[in-house]
Amino acid sequence: MNFNPLLFIALIFALSSCAFVTQPIKYKETNAITKVTYQKNIDINGTVLLDVNWGRKWGCGSFENAQLISLAFDKQPMKTLNNEIEPPLVMHSPSRLMVDPVFLHYAYSLEPGEYAISAVSIKVAEAGSKVGFFTAQRDKLYVNGKPIGGTFTVNPKETVYIGSFYLDCAYQPTLWRYYVDGKEAFEAQVKAYNNSFPFLDLSDVKFRLFKTKEFGNDYELAP
């Protein structure tokens, strides 16, 4: 992995410097895939599979706990980086209070292309009742018009697994992209998606992770 520690620390600072000042992102949540939308767009769109853990992580960095509450992704290229523009993929935690610390399965029907992370919000709490947010949007996650947080791609008629998203707490709370390790684990993951979305054709799921140098480690599934 070509790790850039200075950029990583800068992104951590970009998030943490906003704590207790900014609000979480408020974009409209994207509808998860349904049988109707899947069949309607099966010949033109791709299907993206991912997991997210929205649960609290205790003892996260210098905080009592932290909780990932929102993620958003832009389709590339972007004509303008105005933070007010709604991204095509937006995910929110089902609750900011009571969420089991488990990975939930998600599937989306998306236009083919490359997508970059464009916003993330993390709720943080100190001892007592002091609560705030780490929030970064396009003004932090793009440099010179280019996304720096990471990207994923999906092709027409393709189903792709891009990873599992949660928090890392080694420094301060930050987003981290995890993954299932090994062929057997990936096959079990696909079965879990099949149970959640039985109408999907998961006979040929591509393992192609959200590619990032700042929010995860490189990994490729062995053949």
Inform me whether the pLDDT recorded for 223 exceeds 50. yes
Banded pLDDT at 8 (limits 50, 70, 90): very low
Query: CA triplet 114, 115, 118: central angle to 5 degrees?
Result: 150
Q: If 0-12 CB within 10 Å is exposed, 13-18 middle and 19+ buried, where does residue 163 land?
A: buried
Q: Residue 128 has what pLDDT?
A: 64
What is the bridge-based pairing of β-strands 63-75 and 46-53? unpaired
Banded pLDDT at 97 (limits 50, 70, 90): confident
Within 8 A by CB and 6+ apart from 122, the residues are 15, 66, 67, 68, 69, 133, 134, 135, 167, 173, 174, 175
Q: pLDDT of 104-136, one tens digit each?
A: 999 999 999 999 999 999 999 887 678 888 889
Least confident interval from 17-21, 61-65, 173-177, 180-184: 17-21
Question: In the predicted model, what is the mean pLDDT of the chain?
Answer: 88
Beta bridge partners of 136: 120
Q: Tell me the C-alpha distance between 53 and 68, whole Å.
A: 8
List the structure tokens of 49. Answer: 């599979």
Q: What are phi and psi of 41, to 5 degrees?
A: -110, 10
How remote is the C-alpha of 123 from its chain's centroid?
15
Task: Give rounded-to-5 percent helix, strand, coil for the chain.
Answer: 15, 40, 45
Q: Tell me the C-alpha distance between 141 and 186, whole Å.
A: 30
Mean pLDDT of 88-97: 91
Domain boundaries along the sequence of the chain: 5-207
Pick from 68, 187, 51: nearest CA to 108: 51
Inform me whether the pLDDT recorded for 7 exceeds 50. no
Mean pLDDT of 67-81: 95
